[in-house]
């Protein structure tokens, strides 16, 4: 998906990946190295504690404008030119800018223009349209429980249906998926999972 998004945005060599999946040990080393080199204030602002980094999920990527001196922790990824084109087009491929300005109270992470998170299409498109962070979007989807009215909408000539399935401890959960329907089930990292149905083209 990342390759497709970069191809569609004509990124060529102008944008390069800086950091993707990290193991717990790599995050630990990054954190302690940054503490030593950059101090506590900077590290707490820009480097997640080991065990708390999205990079450990394999769903996050830091990107940089390809310049001679790329900062590994805070790569330059401006809101202009090819970087902005990627930012806009990558939504179609399921990516969001994860830590936008003004949302620090919700995400608890400082603005990171370079950090993208794969949330999947159509979630990325809905989040952009409604201007929601992942935290807000996770809460928003709880309005559409599996046993209630599902969220239904059309995007790019497809019909989508989304619902939230709470997981109560030690209870087995059954979800029925209609025949011949493309679907995805994703944990919401909080208290349940999200079912996405890709209906037939409209
Ligand atoms: Zn990152």
The structural domains of the chain, ordered by start, are 2-120 (3.30.1380.10), 144-201 (3.30.200.180)
> Residue 17: pLDDT band by 50, 70, 90 thresholds?
very high
List pLDDT tens digits, range 181-191.
999 999 998 89
The CA 29 to ligand 1 mean position distance, Å, reads 15
Whole-angstrom CA distances from 114 to 3, 75, 106, 121 are 16, 6, 18, 20
Say how many CA atoms lie within 13 Å of 79 toward its Cβ: 6
CA 67 vs. chain centroid, Å, equals 25
The CA 173 to ligand 1 mean position distance, Å, reads 33
What 3-state DSSP class applies to 11? coil
List pLDDT tens digits, range 34-43.
999 999 999 9
41 an active-site residue?
A: no
The CA 184 to ligand 1 mean position distance, Å, reads 25
Q: Which residue is catalytic, options 112, 125, 135, 176?
A: 112
Question: Token pair for residue 118?
Answer: 């794969």
- pLDDT of residue 201 exceeding 80, the answer is no
């Amino acid at each position: 998906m990342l390759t497709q998004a970069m191809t569609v945005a004509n990124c060529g060599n102008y944008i390069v990946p800086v950091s993707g999946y990290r193991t717990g040990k790599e995050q630990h080393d990054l954190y302690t190295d940054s503490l030593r080199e950059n101090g506590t204030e900077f590290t707490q602002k820009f480097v997640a504690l080991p065990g708390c980094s999205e990079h450990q999920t394999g769903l996050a990527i830091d990107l940089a404008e390809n310049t001679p001196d790329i900062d590994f922790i805070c790569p330059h990824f401006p809101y202009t030119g090819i970087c902005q084109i990627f930012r806009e087009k990558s939504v179609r491929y399921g990516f969001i800018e994860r830590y936008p300005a003004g949302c620090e109270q919700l995400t608890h992470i400082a603005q990171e223009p370079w950090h993208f998170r794969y949330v999947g299409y159509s979630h990325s498109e809905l989040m952009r349209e409604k201007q929601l962070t992942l935290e807000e979007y996770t809460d928003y989807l709880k309005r559409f429980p599996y046993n209630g009215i599902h969220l239904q909408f059309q995007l790019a000539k497809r019909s989508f249906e989304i619902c939230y399935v709470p997981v109560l401890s030690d209870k087995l959960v059954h979800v029925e998926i209609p025949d011949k329907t493309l679907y995805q089930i994703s944990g919401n990292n909080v208290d349940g999972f999200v079912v996405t149905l890709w209906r037939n083209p409209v």
